[in-house]
């Protein structure tokens, strides 16, 4: 296993370890009023979604350099994730993927049992523990993002939400409207597209904007990795409920997350489009399902393709070529680059936004042709930490800060590429944004007894894309 694969494995390991327990009934909880941040200079946090990324985001938040923060409430549909997450934070974190290192964070955590909420309405209880000026963290499967964001806007809370933000047209349009509502209330909202907070990529963006490599005509983005996280699932074991099991395995289901395409590829797509300062107008793509069983021969039943190749086209004819693969035994490439009329650039050397970034006077990417290579201060190396420092700085100093619109647009670009591959059709940005099909209607009304948005066939498999056969929908 190479270094990058080990880092990915480390990042996802917590989710694997905390997603196994069966669901239990909701805990009774009492919302305890908290002191406004302005009164004692402490910003309080409520974490909604306590899996790997949620706990990672909380850790990044708790070590910010912009003044004291404290975690005061947690919510999830799985109680073991709350308990294991608290143990993880109290024990201390060393995460190689984002350079987060901390001793135990116990002095910044105050989440007694009465502020640990379980169930589909737990997000309300957790946010009710906050007051204006505090921050709610959303790290549940993306299908729930608009539901939680709507309540945060109603409560007047600042927000950090993980990507992606939408997997279909109706939810994307809903969130664009919410973006305007949150701006009107002067709420500060961060979105977990951390490439935008990589200091090396920020400097590269400035250099490209000033013409260092000329006009970009080609961008290339790769995430060629092994099987990862919950993207590949064997048959539902019968417990917990089919809905809760799909939420545990959310990368396997398009309704819950947009599948592996949206969750795994959005960063290299986003940082590539950022260099162009534009979103592509249309996409065409191909993909396929190949080795569809685990090491024990149990067939995979998820809705993902194993390979994707998408050609995005910008208004000026420039292209973004995306290659994605989740297959063992193949060569590894997780990077992004740009090619222009005067030279080329490495955006991410390795990973979603791995430094250093660099520019070249030719298209060979030879070191002898290098113009510039980024050098980042040690305390600025983690874009995960940077995005939290930037958000908290905006909260404390009342700076304009709202990343929702570009987060939705990045998600739409992912959706159009995924749908192009899944249907075998050319999909435009406008078609994807204005599509009427919603994959998880009624997600805001889910209960523990709800049926899942997609149900298994008698053989345990789920509907899968069939390009050229099913063309109006993805499955």
Kindly state the tokens that stand for 460.
Answer: 């345990």
Which of 371, 403, 435 represents a domain boundary (last residue)?
403
Say if 460 falls within a structural domain.
no
Say if 451 falls within a structural domain.
no
**Claim to verify: residue 38 and residue 95 sit in the same structural domain:** yes
- What strand order describes the sheet that includes 158-161? 116-118, 69-76, 43-48, 135-138, 158-161, 189-191
Q: Model-level pTM?
A: 0.90
* 186: region left, alpha or beta (phi > 0 left; psi from -120 to 50 alpha): left
Say if 465 falls within a structural domain.
no
**Claim to verify: residue 179 and residue 317 sit in the same structural domain:** no
Q: Which has the closest alpha carbon to 384: 223, 137, 196, 133?
A: 196
Say if 121 falls within a structural domain.
yes
Kindly state the tokens that stand for 346.
Answer: 């490495």
Kindly state the tokens that stand for 43.
Answer: 């910003």
Say if 329 falls within a structural domain.
yes
User: What is the distance between the alpha carbons of residues 50 and 64, in angstroms, rounded to a whole number?
Assistant: 19
Which of 403, 435, 464 represents a domain boundary (last residue)?
403
pLDDT tens digits along 152-173: 999 999 999 999 999 999 999 9
Give the pLDDT score at 95. 55
The SS3 assignment for 110 reads: coil
Kindly state the tokens that stand for 191.
Answer: 């979105």
pLDDT tens digits along 187-203: 999 999 999 999 999 99
Widest distance between CA atoms in the chain: 64
**Claim to verify: residue 207 and residue 229 sit in the same structural domain:** yes
**Claim to verify: residue 184 and residue 253 sit in the same structural domain:** no
- Cis status, amide bond into 25, omega within 30 of 0: no
Q: Which residues pair with 427 in a beta bridge?
A: 283
**Claim to verify: residue 206 and residue 313 sit in the same structural domain:** yes
Kindly state the tokens that stand for 413.
Answer: 């670009």
Q: Residue 175 belongs to what domain range? A: 3-195+385-403
- Cis status, amide bond into 356, omega within 30 of 0: yes
The SS3 assignment for 271 reads: helix
Q: Which has the closest alpha carbon to 230: 186, 260, 272?
A: 260
> End-to-end alpha-carbon separation of the chain, Å?
34
How high is the mean pLDDT in each 10-residue block of the chain (475 residues)? 46 43 33 43 96 94 92 98 94 61 78 98 98 97 98 98 98 98 98 98 98 98 93 95 98 97 97 98 96 88 97 98 95 98 98 97 97 95 96 97 98 98 98 97 97 96 97 95
4-43 per-residue burial string, b: 16 or more CB within 10 A, e: under 16: beebbbebbebbeebbeeebeebbebebeebeebeeeebb
**Claim to verify: residue 107 and residue 253 sit in the same structural domain:** no
Which of 343, 369, 403 represents a domain boundary (last residue)?
403
**Claim to verify: residue 290 and residue 263 sit in the same structural domain:** yes
CA 239 to chain centre: 27
User: What is the distance between the alpha carbons of residues 449 and 447, in angstroms, rounded to a whole number?
Assistant: 5
Give the pLDDT score at 367. 96
**Claim to verify: residue 206 and residue 352 sit in the same structural domain:** yes
**Claim to verify: residue 159 and residue 274 sit in the same structural domain:** no
**Claim to verify: residue 158 and residue 10 sit in the same structural domain:** yes
User: Residue by residue, what is the 3-state secondary structure of 8-20?
Assistant: HHHHHHHHHHHCC
Give the pLDDT score at 94. 62
**Claim to verify: residue 290 and residue 155 sit in the same structural domain:** no
Give the pLDDT score at 211. 98
Question: CATH code at 324?
Answer: 3.30.360.10
Say if 376 falls within a structural domain.
yes
Say if 288 falls within a structural domain.
yes
Q: Which has the closest alpha carbon to 395: 136, 162, 147?
A: 136
Give the pLDDT score at 274. 98
Say if 217 falls within a structural domain.
yes
Give the pLDDT score at 411. 98
* Domains held by the chain: number: 2
Give the pLDDT score at 98. 58
Containing 261, the helix (H) or strand (E) segment is helix 259-276
Please work out, in degrees rounded to the nearest 5, the angle formed at the alpha carbon of residue 82 by the alpha carbons of 77 and 86: 170
**Claim to verify: residue 289 and residue 433 sit in the same structural domain:** yes
């Amino acid at each position: 296993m190479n270094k990058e694969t080990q880092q990915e494995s480390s990042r996802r390991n917590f989710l694997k370890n905390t997603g196994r327990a069966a669901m239990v009934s909701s805990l009774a909880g009492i919302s305890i009023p908290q002191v406004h941040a302005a009164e004692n200079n402490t910003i309080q946090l409520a974490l909604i979604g306590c899996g790997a990324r949620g706990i990672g985001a909380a850790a990044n938040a708790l070590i910010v350099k912009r003044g004291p923060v404290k975690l005061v409430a947690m919510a999830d549909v799985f109680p073991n994730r709350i308990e294991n997450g608290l143990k993880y934070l109290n024990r201390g974190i060393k995460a190689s993927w984002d350079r987060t290192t901390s001793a135990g964070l116990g002095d910044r955590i105050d989440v007694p049992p009465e502020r640990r909420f379980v169930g589909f309405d737990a997000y309300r209880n957790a946010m009710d523990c906050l007051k204006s000026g505090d921050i709610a963290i959303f790290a549940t499967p993306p299908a729930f993002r608009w539901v939680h964001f709507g309540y945060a806007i109603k409560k007047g809370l600042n927000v950090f939400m993980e990507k992606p933000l939408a997997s279909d047209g109706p939810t994307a349009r809903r969130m664009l409207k919410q973006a305007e509502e949150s701006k009107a209330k002067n709420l500060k909202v961060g979105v977990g597209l951390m490439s935008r907070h990589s200091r090396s990529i920020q400097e590269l963006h400035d250099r490209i904007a000033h013409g260092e490599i000329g006009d970009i005509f080609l961008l290339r983005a790769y995430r060629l990795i092994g099987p990862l996280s919950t993207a590949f699932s064997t048959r539902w074991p019968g417990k917990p409920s089919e809905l809760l099991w799909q939420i545990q395995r959310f990368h396997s289901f398009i309704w819950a997350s947009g599948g592996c395409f949206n969750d795994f590829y959005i960063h290299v797509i986003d940082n590539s489009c950022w260099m162009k300062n534009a979103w592509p107008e249309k996409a065409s793509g191909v993909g396929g399902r190949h080795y569809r069983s685990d090491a024990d021969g149990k067939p995979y039943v998820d809705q993902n393709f194993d390979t994707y190749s998408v050609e995005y086209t910008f208004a000026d004819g420039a292209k973004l070529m995306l290659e994605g693969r989740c297959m063992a035994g193949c060569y590894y490439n997780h990077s992004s680059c740009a090619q222009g009329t005067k030279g080329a650039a490495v955006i991410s050397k390795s990973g979603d936004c791995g430094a250093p970034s660099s520019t070249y006077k030719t298209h060979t990417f030879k070191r002898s042709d290098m113009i510039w290579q980024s050098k980042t201060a040690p305390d600025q190396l983690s874009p995960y930490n940077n995005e939290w420092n930037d958000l908290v700085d905006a909260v404390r100093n009342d700076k304009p800060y709202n990343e929702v619109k570009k987060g939705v647009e990045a998600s739409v670009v992912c959706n159009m590429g995924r749908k192009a591959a899944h249907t075998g059709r050319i999909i435009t940005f406008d078609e994807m944004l204005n599509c009427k099909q919603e994959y998880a209607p009624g997600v805001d009304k889910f209960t523990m007894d709800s049926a899942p948005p997609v149900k298994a066939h008698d053989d345990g498999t789920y509907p899968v894309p069939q390009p050229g056969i099913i063309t109006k929908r993805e499955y």
